[in-house]
Chain A
Amino acid sequence: MSLIKKLLDLDQRIIFLVLFVALAFPILNPVMLPMAIQDYSIQAFEFADSIPDGSIVIIEGGNTAATYPQCGPGLIAQIVHLLRKDVKLVFFSIGAEQQVWTQTAIDTAISKLPAGVPAENGVNWVNLGYIPGGESATAALANNIRSVVAKDYFGTPVDEIPLMKDVNDATAFAALFWWGGSEGSIPYGVRQFVGPFGIPMSGSCTTNEVPNYSPYISAGQLQGLFGGVRGSAEYEYLLKLPGPALGQAMATNFGGLWWLILVAVGNILYFILRTRGEA
C-alpha cells in the first residue's frame, strides 16, 4: 500500500486523540488569539443595550445539559447585562430540563453581579418555570400569562409575585430574548410575540442552527443572534465580562483548524490518487 493510501486510511483513534488535545489544551491553558466579532452578535448586543432602564423583558431559557456549555455563558452575560441596567426579567422554559438550567444561569449571573445591583427574586426577576405545549403554550403565554401559569418555579403563586402585578400578556414586555439552545424554537417567538404583538426580539441558538435563522434577521423579525459558544464568547467580550465561553471559543479555534487541515489534506491526497488513476 502506498504512503498516500496509508494516510487516507489514518486510524481514527489518532484523529480523535489530536482533536482531544486541540480542544482540551486551550481550555486548560487559556490562550487568547485574535477574534473578529460577528455582525449578528453586535446587533444582538446593541439591541439588549438599547432596552430602556427599568423596563420589563421576557426571556425563554431553552438550554439543556447538552447546549448549556456553549449557550449558557451567553445567557449568564445577558442576565448580568440587563440586571445592571435595572431591567426586570421574566423567565420561562418550554422544556422540563431547560427550567433547571435557566435557574442555574440566573443563580450564576447573580453571583457575578457587582455589589449594590439589586437582584431580588420576585422583584427584579421571576422564573415561571416549565410551560408544556411548545408553540401553543408560547401563544397562550403571549395572550394571557395566567391562563397557563399559576405558580413560578419555586411554587409561589403568580398573583403573589410583586413583579407580575401588572404583567398579564405580551404587551407588558419591552423585548423578548429567546435562548433556544438547539430546541429549534426561535420561530415560536417570532410567530407568537413579534408578529401579533410587535415585541422586538433577539435570539441565541447552537452554532449549527444559525443559518436557519438568518432569514429572520434579514427580514427584521430578529434584532440579532448569538450563535453557539462563539456568540457567548462575543457577548462576554462585548460586555467586558470574561467567562468560560472565551476559553471555549479558543478551543474551537484549534478544533476547527484541525478539521480544516484534515479535510484539505484528505482532498489533496485524493486528487493525487485520482491523477494517478488509483482512486
Chain B
Amino acid sequence: MLIEFFFPMPKAVTDTNVTLRSFVTIVSATALILGIIILTISHLRKISRQESEWYYSIIYIIALVITAGLGLTGVRNTNFLWIYNNMTAPIGVALYSLTAFYITSAAFRIFRARNWSSAVLLVCGFILLMMLIPIGAAIFPPVVPIGEWLRSYPSSAGFRGMIIGTSLGIMGLGVRVYTGRQKEHMGIREERAEVA
C-alpha cells in the first residue's frame, strides 16, 4: 500500500489494496463493539466489588442500556433522537464551552512576558487573536497582514516540521512493530536491563 501511494501499480495490486482497506473498516467497527463490551465488563466488575465510586458505573450501565436499546431500533427513532438532542448534545456543548472560561482565567494569571521568549509568544498570541476576532481588523487594521504572515510562515513552518517529525516517528514505530522490537501494544512488557 505504501508503494501504491507513490507509484502507479497493476490493477491486481490496486484491487487487493481496496479489499485490504475494506478490512480496516470492518475491523474498526468490530473494535468499537469490542470496546463497549470491555468497558461494560469493567463497570460491572466495579459494581460487583463495590469499588470506590462504584455508583457512577450504575449510571453508565443504565445510560448504555437505554441509548443502545433505542439506537438499535433505528438511529432515527424519536426517543433516541430526544436523548441525543436533549442530553448528549447539551453536555458536549457545555463541556467544550467551559474551556473558554478556564482559558480566559488562566491567561490572565499565567500569560505574562516574564522573559524574551514568553514576550514573543505573548505578542504573537495577541496579534493572532486580534486578527481572529471579527472586529479586530476594524480596531487596528495592521493586525491582518501581520497575523496572516505569522500564520502563513512561522506557524506553517513549525507545523510542517512537527508533521515531518511525527511521520518519521510513526514510520520508525511501524518498523519496530513489524520486526518484533516493540511489543507493548500486545500487552507484553519486557524487563529492560538497567544501565549502571
> Which chain A residues have a beta carbon within 8 Å of chain B's beta carbons?
8, 10, 12, 15-16, 19-20, 23, 33-36, 39, 64-69, 96-97, 99-100, 131-134, 136-137, 139-140, 143-144, 147-148, 153-155, 195-196, 207, 210-212, 214-215, 218, 227, 230, 233, 249-250, 252-253, 255-260, 262-267, 270-271
Collect the chain B residues with CB atoms within 8 Å of residue A212's CB. 159
Chain A residues touching B, majority SS: helix
Residues of B within 8 A of A (CB): 5, 14, 17-19, 21-22, 24-25, 27-29, 32, 74-76, 81, 84, 88-93, 95-96, 100-101, 103-105, 107-109, 111-113, 122, 125-126, 129-130, 132-138, 144, 148, 151-152, 155-156, 159-160
Docked Cα-Cα span, A39 to B156, in Å, equals: 16
Q: Are A250 and B32 in contact (CB under 8 A)?
A: no
In the complex, the answer to whether B113 meets A207 with C-beta atoms within 8 Å is: no
B134 in contact with A33 (CB, 8 Å):
yes
Q: How far is the CA of A99 from the CA of B75 in the complex (A)?
A: 10
A256 x B133 contact (CB < 8 A): yes
Residues in A neighbouring B108, C-beta threshold 8 A: 10, 15, 262-263, 265-266
Tell me the interface secondary structure of chain B in the complex: helix
Residues of B within 8 A of A147 (CB): 18-19, 21-22
Cα(A242)–Cα(B96), bound, Å: 25
> A250 — which chain B residues lie within 8 A by C-beta?
134
In angstroms, Cα B14 to Cα A233, docked, is 42
Chain A residues closer than 8 Å to B132, beta-carbon distance: 207, 227, 230, 256
Q: Which residues of B contact A153 (CB under 8 A)?
A: 75
* B135 lies within 8 A of A255 (CB): no
CB<8 Å pairs between A and B, sample of 8: A8-B109, A15-B104, A19-B100, A19-B101, A68-B89, A134-B28, A259-B129, A265-B108
Interface pairs A-B: 8 shortest CB-CB: A65-B92, A256-B133, A140-B21, A136-B24, A66-B96, A36-B137, A132-B28, A133-B25
From B84, B104, B152, contact of A100 by CB (8 A): B84
